[in-house]
Amino acid sequence: MKVLAGGQSLVPMLAFRLLRPSVLVDLNRIPELAGIRELEDGGLEVGAMTRTHELEVSPAVAERWPLAREAAPLIGHRQIRNRGTVGGSIAHADPAAELPAVAVASGATLAVQGPAGVRDIPAAEFFTGVFTTALGPGELLTAIRIPRPPAGLGTAFSEVSRRLGDFALAGAAAAVVLDGDVCVDASLVLIGVDATPVAIPAAGDLLRGTSVTVEDAARVGEEARALVEPGSDQHATADYRRELAAVVARRALLAATATSYRVRPG
């Protein structure tokens, strides 16, 4: 049995006969699974069946989950985003997908429902391998919860692909929190360079207390390069992905810092 969300990854697999489920359960007419809800604590709850395109145009997402708004236009093409879903992308866990990294970098919590009841899984613990997640048999991802964005937050997503809309050869989701000119926290998560999104703890460790100069960001990029273990395939060699890891890490951290200045009130 497979569940059918946006179908933008699943249906091609059916077409290729990579999967032959005996039962396909269509989630598209369950209204409770869709919708974007602003939470009382300042956070956001995004229903799993929310179309990826919605992230590009929702005012609530612009305000409370700007990293998702920045990453969304990089996800495939408009036709894919019109049907593809936030929950589907996260549950599918493609190593080159943007939303898993966005979820981890945002400190998101994934709401899951199954035969044993409901539970929450932190995004950082959700992705366990290539196309593999912590979802158990019969469990369904129902919503993604984002914590209230801290004051001084700037976010950015940077990726490299051969053409717009291609799978990322490497990508980085960055969140930087500035107090005045000084970084008080930073998170960085890379995609396309390993089996799962890779969190780079050096981002926080090296950037706290700095003003995130080009040199600071480049130093984090070098830590990222050392940490990742990409594979080689017909699109890029492991060496090239390692090089890209350093580049997208640096670009994303600098862009996130610039955003933090740009979105400041007053």
Partner 1 sequence: MRRTLVTLRVNGEERSAEVDVRRTLADFLRDDLGLTGTHLGCEHGVCGACTVLLDGASIRSCLLLAVQAEGAEVLTVEGLARDAELHPLQQAFWDEHALQCGFCTPGFLLTAVELLRETADPSEEDIRAAIGGNLCRCTGYVNVVAAIRRAAGAEG
Interacting residues with partner 1 (CB under 8 A): 4, 7-8, 11-12, 15-16, 26, 28, 53, 73, 76-80, 82-83, 163-165
Nearer to partner 1 by Cβ, of 76 and 152: the residue is: 76
Backbone φ and ψ for 49, nearest 5 degrees, come out as: -90, 10
Half-sphere exposure of 10 (CA within 13 A, CB side): 20
Residue 229: CB minimum distance to partner 1, A: 28
Query: β-strand 198-199 against 182-191: which pairing, if any?
Result: antiparallel
Residue 235: CB minimum distance to partner 1, A: 14
Contact 190, 218 (CB under 8 A): no
Nearer to partner 1 by Cβ, of 29 and 262: the residue is: 29
Nearer to partner 1 by Cβ, of 79 and 213: the residue is: 79
Residue 129: CB minimum distance to partner 1, A: 24
Name the packing angle between helices 214-227 and 238-262 (round to 10°). Answer: 140
What one-letter code names the amino acid at 215?
A: E
Residue 173: CB minimum distance to partner 1, A: 21
Nearer to partner 1 by Cβ, of 15 and 40: the residue is: 15
Helix intervals (H) in 58-146 = 59-64, 66-71, 78-83, 86-92, 98-105, 123-126
